[in-house]
Structure 1
Amino acid sequence: MVQSGLSQPEKVIGSSYNHAKFKLLTPSENSTKTPEICHAETIIVGGGVIGCAIAFELASRGQEVLLVEQSEIASGASCAAAGMLAAESEDFAHPFMAKAAHESRELLHKHKEQISAITGMDIGLRRSGFITPFRSYSDLSKYKDRRNTTSGVQQLWWDRSTVQREALWLNRDTYGAYYRSLESEVLPVSLTRAYARSAEMMGARILEGVQNVRLVVDNHGVRGIKTAKGEVCCKHIIIAAGLQGEQLMHQVGVALPSSPVKGEIMAVRFPIDQAGGRPDRTVYAEDVYIVPKANGEVWIGATSLPGRKDHSVSANSVQRLLGAASYWIPGIKEADFVRAWAGIRPSTPDGLPYIGKYEQIPGLYTAYGHFRNGILLSAITGRWIADLLEGKRAEEIGIEALSPERLNRKGVML
């Protein structure tokens, strides 16, 4: 096995994430009177990119927010993501998600400017575009047939001579490629921590290391949470805890299933004397993606292993990823291996995330199940949840298809 680098898969650019702890009083710390029950208007459970983006959006609207995370900010799936904002290159199963992806990418670009102004932090945004290359005309035809339509996708076709002119580092035998100039990517940990820090500087409170979160509800709706650190009462609870979201919802008798899908990624770095072979644009091929990052590394991914929850990285996976990547970019054979890591992504039965208000329990909201598009959909998810909390209806926002109650309405066995 290759040692997993999950705990620190990227260098954070810019200011460090250094928040003040929000302390909950426990009986032992306040034994002379009834333990204090802290209050927050809205509690977000989960400190990944989705939870932090929601905190950012709510705080920017002046809402009182407490975010609790069982480990550290950006320590789960957000820590292991590749950070691609592939709104046009990704093959979405649902047209609704393709539209949402475009809106979210545009919104995230705007957030980048806000985050920089508020915190000075750099999220590692690169807007160099993505290349989808093909070995032959046959491969191109199969790709077109599977994608069915390219309506709304802004792309250019590069023939062999154009590829050789525009991407000298790409395999010289490449038949042709689509170039999508609007695609971009970020450093995912940097983005997640920047969202958290920005939210905090706008008034949100963030608490890490919160274990044993229990949801407190009654016949009137949510009342708060109990944790190993104490209790907090609130008006709204937002479940943005990725794979742990299903367990949290089970606490209140709600079945919203999600399945783990393990993905393995690796990073290489080109020596200075081999810099000419380093890609300057992301390659989003059928069998691999290759992403040059703002921290100087090139990330290569990813495997897809349904049902796997371990964070090990197999030598076989590294070999497969390197083989696929070095076919498209021969210079990768001479690059220095940096590390490999794995992340566990939550998938839902119908491929759509659970985003919305759970009507049967007033005050309870969900925002998990984004599978491989959590980074891309983080900005729009934050906006949707904030709109719902301000009183807008799902139908008004246009997200009724994402309702956490949709599977019951469809008769899906849970």
Structure 2
Amino acid sequence: MSCDVAVVGAGAIGLLSAYYLSLSGRRVVVVERGEPGREASWAGGGIVSPLYPWRYQPAVTALAHWSQDFYPVLGERLRQETGVDPEVEVTGLYWLNLEDEAEALDWARRNVRPLASVSVAEVRQRVPVLGPGYERAVFMAGVANVRNPRLVRSLREALLRMPNVTLVSESPVTGFLRQGERVVGVQTAREAIHAESVVVCAGAWSGELLQTLGLAVPVRPVKGQMLLYRQPVGYLTSMVLAKGRYAIPRRDGHILIGSTLEHAEFDKTPTAKALASLQASAAELLPALAEQAPVAHWAGLRPGSPDGVPFIGPVPELPGLWLNCGHYRNGLVLAPASCQLLTDLLTERTPIIDPAPYAPGARLAAG
């Protein structure tokens, strides 16, 4: 099999990269080790914002702002194309009892973002199911959440309708095809796929895969566990976050509680310890949840990176090889901007933002 671009990985980053590349006219083959969209992209919460955006580097902020502004457009486009609604819901987000509230408000002023202090009385008026003990709050209007399992399903459906895209599932990449220093494709468990360009979007598996090329990219798995509850529609009207834990309302009444942060290599087994910890957080945020058992408990693997800044762009020492990986906790948040930037660079168009902070060459050399 041959193509213009082989995309390794079919999570949100891989699927959306393929989507944009196919719109540019490229013939794309997407290769996935398992089932498309069933790893971190399925397991996460889908808040369209970093949990604490003021604590990140400007490089993350630039991608996040572009993506946040574009997500409603993307959601509606995919709904119209596929009939699968990703459910991009604008609910706003309350941060409760922030220790660095002053820094958050200063960041918002500098970045012109709608984050402001609000009274706890106002929060309780809008979120009457909130637990006691909260004394301070800040609110950012316009923050959305996307129903990530539906997002990856809609992306998959969109790609299946594109004549210049082939989606290959249950086919792990076992190595790369080379002509001298140039990467000219990938070898899968089934066949060789020849390509002018290879884009690695393999999430938590990216670092391990790139080691086969002698490339040390610091992307490693970081486990996260989540709970899902069911409440009546409208029970929770806004996202709330305290002590690093959040509650996210879905359109149909489901409530997500997350998440843990664990270094456990590639182990995705849900644990009793995490279950107890997340249930305690759920009861603290929303006391009514203490009276019921969660309807689901799962774990996923984030593509951890040292500073949360993804690697996006070509690898100079290995022509033909491109990266779009290492998004850590913000893959869904940053996906639209990351994938548009990757497409702009690969197709030699003017990039949407300055690509320098994400360029693999200088960063890997420095590392």
TM-score (norm 1): 0.82
Matched-pair contact (CA < 8 Å) for 1:124–1:295:
no
Q: Distance in 1 between matches of 2:120 and 2:255?
A: 24
| Aligned counterpart, 1:234 | 195
| Aligned counterpart, 1:108 | 71
1:148-207: per-residue Cα shift (whole Å, max 9, x none)? Answer: 633323123221321232221123543232121111111112111211221232331111
3, 16, 24: which is aligned to 1:61?
24
| Aligned counterpart, 2:149 | 189
- In structure 2, give the amino acid aligned to 1:78: S
> What SS does the corresponding residue of 2:84 show, helix, strand or coil?
coil
1:82 aligns with 2:45: yes
> What SS does the corresponding residue of 2:341 show, helix, strand or coil?
helix
| Aligned counterpart, 2:128 | 168
> What SS does the corresponding residue of 1:305 show, helix, strand or coil?
coil
Q: Distance in 2 between matches of 1:58 and 1:218?
A: 24
Q: Distance in 2 between matches of 1:141 and 1:379?
A: 31
| Aligned counterpart, 1:125 | 88
- In structure 1, give the amino acid aligned to 2:63: A
CA deviation after TM superposition for structure 1 residue 392, in Å: 4.2
Q: Distance in 2 between matches of 1:257 and 1:393?
A: 28
27, 36, 52: which is aligned to 2:15?
52
Q: Distance in 2 between matches of 1:147 and 1:164?
A: 21
Q: Distance in 2 between matches of 1:288 and 1:179?
A: 16
1:71 aligns with 2:27: no
Q: Aligned residues, how many?
A: 364
| Aligned counterpart, 1:4 | none
Change in CA separation of 1:322 and 1:147 when aligned onto 2, cut-off 3 Å = farther
> What SS does the corresponding residue of 1:362 show, helix, strand or coil?
coil
Q: Runs (4+) of structure 1 moved beyond 4 Å? A: 145-148
| Aligned counterpart, 1:201 | 161
| Aligned counterpart, 1:398 | 354
Stretch of structure 1 that moved more, 52-61 or 215-224: 215-224
Stretch of structure 1 that moved more, 291-300 or 44-53: 291-300
Matched-pair contact (CA < 8 Å) for 1:289–1:302:
yes
CA deviation after TM superposition for structure 1 residue 372, in Å: 0.6
> What SS does the corresponding residue of 2:213 show, helix, strand or coil?
coil
**Structure of larger gyration radius:** 1
| Aligned counterpart, 2:267 | 310
1:372 aligns with 2:329: yes
CA deviation after TM superposition for structure 1 residue 332, in Å: 1.6
- In structure 1, give the amino acid aligned to 2:71: L
| Aligned counterpart, 2:60 | 97
Q: Distance in 2 between matches of 1:215 and 1:72?
A: 21
Q: Distance in 1 between matches of 2:208 and 2:220?
A: 12
> What SS does the corresponding residue of 1:149 show, helix, strand or coil?
helix
- In structure 2, give the amino acid aligned to 1:352: V
CA deviation after TM superposition for structure 1 residue 316, in Å: 2.2
| Aligned counterpart, 2:285 | 328
Matched-pair contact (CA < 8 Å) for 1:265–1:303:
yes
Stretch of structure 1 that moved more, 79-88 or 297-306: 79-88
TM-score (norm 2): 0.92
- In structure 2, give the amino acid aligned to 1:48: G
CA deviation after TM superposition for structure 1 residue 334, in Å: 2.7
Q: Which runs of 5+ in 1 are unaligned?
A: 1-37, 135-139
CA deviation after TM superposition for structure 1 residue 291, in Å: 0.7
CA deviation after TM superposition for structure 1 residue 366, in Å: 0.5
1:189-229: per-residue Cα shift (whole Å, max 9, x none)? Answer: 21112112212323311110113432101226222222221
Change in CA separation of 1:340 and 1:88 when aligned onto 2, cut-off 3 Å = closer
Q: Which runs of 5+ in 2 are unaligned?
A: none
Q: Please list, as runs of the form range in 1=range in 2, the aligned pairs for 1:258-277 lying within 5 A after superposition.
A: 258-270=219-231, 272=232
Stretch of structure 1 that moved more, 288-297 or 366-375: 288-297
Stretch of structure 1 that moved more, 141-150 or 370-379: 141-150
Matched-pair contact (CA < 8 Å) for 2:315–2:360:
yes
| Aligned counterpart, 1:349 | 306
190, 205, 211: which is aligned to 2:172?
211
Identity across matched positions, percent? 24
Change in CA separation of 1:93 and 1:249 when aligned onto 2, cut-off 3 Å = same
Matched-pair contact (CA < 8 Å) for 1:222–1:361:
yes
Cα root mean square deviation, aligned: 2.2
222, 228, 239: which is aligned to 2:183?
222
